[in-house]
Amino acid sequence: MKITLPILLLFCTINHPFAQEIPPAGGGEVLSGEVTNCLTSEERTQINRMLDENIARLIKEGIIADKPQPENNTVAFAWPLRKAPALSFNSYYATNNYVDQNAGTGVLDYNCGSRTYDGHKGTDIDTWPFPWYLYDNNLVEVVAGMDGTIIAKTDGNVDTHCSCLGNWNAVYVLHADGSKAWYGHMKKNSLTSKNIGESVAKGEYLGVVASSGCSTQPHLHFEVYDASAQLIDPYSGSCNSLNSESWWATQPANREPTLNAVITHDALPVHGCPGSNEAPNISNLFFPGQTIYLAAYYHDESIGTLTSFKLLKPDNSVWQSWNHTVNNTYTKSWWYWTWVLPVNGPFGNWQVEAEYQGVKIQHPFYYQAASSVDEQLRDAAVSIYPNPASSFIHIDGTQKKSIKLYDTVGKLIISDTDVQTIDVSGLPKGLYILMIETGARVFVEKVLKE
């Protein structure tokens, strides 16, 4: 994965009563790794042979019809991804490659552009930002784009590739009109528990996005064939020579400028594959003197479009405001600004507010006065144990209290009052922020779920 960085610009944290353009301290376009066809012609031949054999068996068993009736069944795909309930990002993907319409050497997408690579036979939808964080926590799911019958599953293959290696994990679905959809590169052991021959409904869970097989990063490869085994590009456009009609229920725009997420970090985040140590460094807890890396993550950020930012104090008044525009169009991009909050506060719940293309995103974080949470907890005779925890967290030392548990991207996971124990057994493994309010004081502690 390659990242182009602009020259770093330093600036002072001066209050701005009127929003002005403030250049980011860094960031840029994020490019995928070197691309190559995710399946060889031999592998496609093997897959098609497997599908034909399975379909013949299912017909013989009376599970599916011998002769589909295309005229009575219109395929209209829903979006084949969704975010898991635990993910608080505004958006979670970027469409990276379309079907290559150029039968010879060279590239051409359905929209007469070059957003594909030579010989590509599907639609690649990347998870973004922090695809490996999303992978680790099962936060982006593959779902059936259309009702159908599972005709094959392949599972058990390594799913952390950053280059072209091995076989993928995939689910193959046959629709009532005889067309087929391939869902590839999924996470090992995440595939639906349904068996070959069982039906799935539009929007039903199929697996988790990962990077199995020939893949440079976590993404879904979505490949479609009609009843005659002819390749289909689900997008209609002037340069789609494969099919005249869209196969989407509602066709997504070629470019859909979107602010995927606004995130606060306690260190500069690192984007990359496991070998280059992707490090989100996400934090929603900060102390006096600590630098906040405030970052915005986009897909299809477009030339000349404006994002307005505000840093809001606990009383909701504006501490800083600024605008951001770009002079190019990017499939995946990110930009960050650095801030140090006033040493004397105000302390409490701060908020970043960002508006892009008419959509407003709010991201909360907590500014804590105490330089040492452990010392503050000891002074108040508050005890939190065990930490790390696998099932329950116990809180001793104060009776009347409000308890809130947040994930590292600011989503409220648990909220309760006057309890001594909170159940974390059903939560994904990872870091969480526990906030205890007693009326007079607020205590914040990082807890680790094992």
The domain that contains 76 carries what CATH number?
Answer: 2.70.70.10
Both structure tokens of 7? 């020259």
E-strand ranges in 326-429 read: 330-339, 348-356, 359-367, 383-385, 392-396, 402-407, 412-417, 421-423
Quick one: tokens of 319?
Answer: 């501490």
Domain of 434 in residue numbering reads as 373-449
The string of pLDDT tens digits covering residues 162-183 is 888 889 999 999 999 999 999 9
The verdict on 97 and 215 lying in the same domain is: yes
- Average pLDDT for the chain: 89
Q: Are 83 and 149 within one domain? A: yes
| Same-domain pairing of 89 and 126 | yes
**Quick one: 337 and 386 in the same domain?**
no
Residue 399: which pLDDT band, with cuts at 50, 70 and 90?
low
Structure tokens at 236: 């209609």
Classify residue 64: in a domain, yes or no: yes
Q: How sure is the predictor about 412, in pLDDT bands with cuts at 50, 70 and 90? A: confident
- The answer to whether residues 131 and 168 belong to one domain is yes
The torsion angle over the Cα atoms of residues 116, 119, 120 and 122, rounded to 10 degrees, is: 130
Domain count, the chain: 3
Mean pLDDT, residues 266-281: 85
CA distances to 50, 119, 165, 182, 245 from 39, in Å: 15, 10, 10, 12, 26
pLDDT of residue 92: 98
pLDDT of residue 180: 98
pLDDT in tens, 118-147: 999 999 999 999 999 999 999 999 999 999
Averaged over 188-215, what is the pLDDT?
98
- 439, pLDDT greater than 80: no
Please tell me the distance from the alpha carbon of residue 150 to that of residue 160, in angstroms, as a whole number. 25
Is the residue at 169 inside a domain?
yes
Are residues 146 and 61 part of one domain?
yes
pLDDT confidence band for 418 (50 / 70 / 90): confident
Residue 349 falls within a domain, yes or no? no
| Same-domain status, 147 and 49 | yes
- Residue-by-residue DSSP string for 426-443: TSPSEEEEEEEE-SS-EE
For position 16, what pLDDT does the model report? 40
The whole-model pTM stands at 0.84
Residue 440 has pLDDT above 70, yes or no: no
Of the residues 326, 343, 360, which one is the last residue of a structural domain?
343
pLDDT for the residue numbered 293: 98
Please provide the DSSP assignment of 239-263 as one string: T--S-SS--BSSPPPS---EEEEEE
pLDDT band at residue 375, thresholds of 50, 70 and 90? very low
β-pairing verdict for 359-367 and 285-286: parallel
Query: Cα–Cα distance between 189 and 159 in angstroms, integer?
Result: 10
Rounded Cα distance, 191 and 206, in Å: 6
Q: Give mean pLDDT, residues 376-401.
A: 74
Please give the Cα distance from 175 to 155 (Å, whole number).
22
Residue 142 covered by a domain? yes
129/76 same-domain check: yes
In the prediction, which pLDDT does 381 show?
58
Domain contains 429: yes
Sign of CA dihedral 52, 56, 57, 63: positive
* Residue 356 is assigned to a structural domain of this protein: no
Say if residue 367's pLDDT is above 80. Answer: yes
Higher pLDDT, 257 or 372: 257
Q: How confident is the model at residue 400 (pLDDT cuts 50, 70, 90)?
A: low
| CATH number of domain containing 438 | 2.60.40.3080
Residue 282 sits in the same domain as residue 193: no
Tell me the average pLDDT across 343-348. Answer: 91
Is a pLDDT exceeding 80 seen at residue 442?
A: no
Domain membership flag for residue 358: no
Residue 360 identity (one-letter amino acid) = K
3-state secondary structure of 2: strand
Neighbour tally for 166: CB within 10 Å: 12
- pLDDT tens digits for 61-105? 999 988 776 665 678 999 999 999 989 999 999 999 999 999 999
Residue 432: per-residue pLDDT: 86
What SS3 state is found at 134?
Answer: helix
Q: Are residue 192 and residue 324 in the same domain, yes or no?
A: no
Backbone angles phi, psi at 140, to 5 degrees: -130, 125
Domain-embedded: residue 352: no
Indicate if 88 and 214 belong to the same structural domain.
Answer: yes
Q: Please give the residue that has the higher pLDDT: either 349 or 380.
A: 349
Are 276 and 228 found together in one domain? Answer: no
